[in-house]
């Protein structure tokens, strides 16, 4: 059975890591398959959002399983393989559609970073999070980038240097989650969120997401000039004209996604 399950339901592309007996850890094949699947649906307007989740409810993802690489790989080959996670993060940030992490169970190590690299995170109240690499003599280098975008550096360093796990309420309080929901209402709340996302203009969301992450990496004066230009670009879209017209006419907009 495939280690990554790919399906489309109600306008959402679901990418499910299917290694429940291995904590839904990611192999190199899983990392590559995620990028391939994202690419296949990048310009398919019938798909309006993406959900990344783990198979079952025990683990979202517990990291990258480098032990599955071919025996006898050289140090250089192992080094190149480790870059695959960073490549996936960049592909996710440049992706034109909203990516939601649906977290149930453990989100640890590379899985913690994968979750943080998503645009929105919905977590089960029983979920646990952490960067335990230091406990086995490694440091969570690659996941520092997505996590530093949302967690105060002092708090993140403490998590990394102690390797301790935190629960959903603490993860929410430090800013790495969007919302925490009960186990019984998880699928219902996820569906409501996806319905809200999928009802928006794809073209406006694509340009908005692109500008959000670019501005995040800019200095304030650079970002303001760039965002002013992006506002002018968005105002030229058919959907922008339609949205304003619908608002003034007190009717529901009819998006053309262009």
Does 161 lie in the same domain as 67? yes
Nearest 10 degrees: Cα torsion 216, 221, 222, 223: 40
Residue 256 located in a structural domain:
no
Residue 64 located in a structural domain:
yes
**Predicted TM-score (pTM) of this structure:** 0.95
Does 239 lie in the same domain as 151? no
Residue 257 located in a structural domain:
no
For the stretch 187-245, pLDDT in tens is 999 999 999 999 999 999 999 999 999 999 999 999 999 999 999 999 999 999 999 99
Does 98 lie in the same domain as 219? no
Name the one residue in this structure whose structure tokens are 């996820």.
190
Does 147 lie in the same domain as 133? yes
Mean residue pLDDT across the chain = 95
At residue 133, does pLDDT exceed 80? yes
- Tokens matching residue 117: 């690299």
Residue 223 located in a structural domain:
yes
Name residues whose C-beta falls within 8 Å of residue 98's C-beta, 6 or more positions apart in sequence. 49, 50, 119, 120, 197, 205, 209
The burial of 101, by beta-carbon neighbours within 10 Å (0-12 exposed, 13-18 middle, 19 or more buried), is given as buried
Residue 255 located in a structural domain:
no
Does 223 lie in the same domain as 141? no
Does 114 lie in the same domain as 228? no
pLDDT at 80 (0 to 100): 74
Q: Which residues of 176-195 are buried (b: 16+ CB within 10 A; e: fewer)?
A: bbbebbeeeebeebbeebbe
d(CA 105, CA 165): 12
Does 103 lie in the same domain as 124? yes
The pairing of beta strand 166-167 with beta strand 128-130: antiparallel
SS3 of the chain: the string is CCCEEEEEECCEEEEEECCHHHCCCECHHHHHHHHHHHHHCCCCCCCCEEEEEECCCCEEECCECHHHCCCCCCHHHHHHHHHHHHHHHHHHHCCCCEEEEEECCEEECHHHHHHHHCCEEEEECCCEEECHHHHHCCCCCCCHHHHHCCCCHHHHHHHHHHCCCEEHHHHHHCCCCCEEECHHHHHHHHHHHHHHHHCCCHHHHHHHHHHHHHHHCCCHHHHHHHHHHHHHHHCCCHHHHHHHHHHHCCCCCCCCCC
Residue 216: which CATH number? 1.10.12
Residue 207 located in a structural domain:
yes
pLDDT at 71 (0 to 100): 62
Does 29 lie in the same domain as 71? yes
Q: Which residues constitute the domain of residue 151?
A: 4-198
Ranking 80-89, 136-145, 162-171 by mean pLDDT, the lowest is 80-89
- Tokens matching residue 64: 């990258």
Name residues whose C-beta falls within 8 Å of residue 81's C-beta, 6 or more positions apart in sequence. 28, 66, 69, 73
Length of the chain: 258
Residue where a domain terminates, one of 167, 183, 198: 198
Does 206 lie in the same domain as 187? no
Does 161 lie in the same domain as 230? no
Does 122 lie in the same domain as 40? yes
pLDDT at 79 (0 to 100): 78
Residue 94: which CATH number? 3.90.226.10
Does 236 lie in the same domain as 143? no
Q: Are 132 and 107 in contact (CB under 8 A)?
A: no
Q: How does residue 76 score in pLDDT terms, banded at 50, 70 and 90?
A: confident
The domain tally of the chain equals 2
Residue 185 located in a structural domain:
yes
Please state the rounded mean pLDDT for residues 155-172: 98
Residue 163 located in a structural domain:
yes
């Amino acid at each position: 059975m495939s280690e990554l399950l790919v399906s489309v339901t109600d306008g959402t592309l679901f990418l499910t890591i299917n290694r429940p007996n291995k904590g839904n850890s990611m192999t190199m094949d899983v990392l590559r398959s995620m990028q391939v699947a994202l690419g296949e649906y990048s310009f398919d307007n019938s798909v309006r959002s993406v959900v990344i989740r783990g198979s079952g409810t025990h683990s979202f993802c517990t990291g990258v399983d480098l032990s599955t690489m071919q025996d006898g790989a050289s140090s250089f080959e192992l080094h190149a393989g480790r870059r695959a996670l960073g490549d996936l993060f960049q592909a996710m940030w440049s992706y034109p559609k909203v990516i939601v992490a649906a977290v149930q169970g453990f989100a640890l190590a590379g899985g913690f970073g994968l979750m943080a690299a998503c645009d929105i995170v919905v977590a089960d109240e029983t979920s646990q999070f952490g960067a335990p690499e230091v406990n086995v003599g490694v440091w969570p280098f690659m996941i520092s980038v997505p996590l530093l975008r949302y967690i105060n550096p002092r708090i993140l360093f403490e998590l990394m240097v102690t390797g301790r796990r935190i629960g959903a309420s603490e993860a929410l309080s430090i800013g790495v989650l969007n919302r925490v929901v009960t186990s019984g209402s998880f699928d219902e709340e996820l569906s409501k969120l996806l319905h809200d996302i999928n009802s928006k203009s794809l073209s406006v969301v694509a340009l908005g997401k692109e500008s959000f992450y670019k501005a995040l990496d800019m200095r304030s004066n650079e970002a303001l000039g760039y965002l002013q230009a992006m506002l002018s670009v968005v105002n030229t879209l058919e959907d922008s004209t339609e949205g304003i017209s619908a608002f003034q006419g007190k009717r529901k907009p009819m998006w053309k996604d262009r």
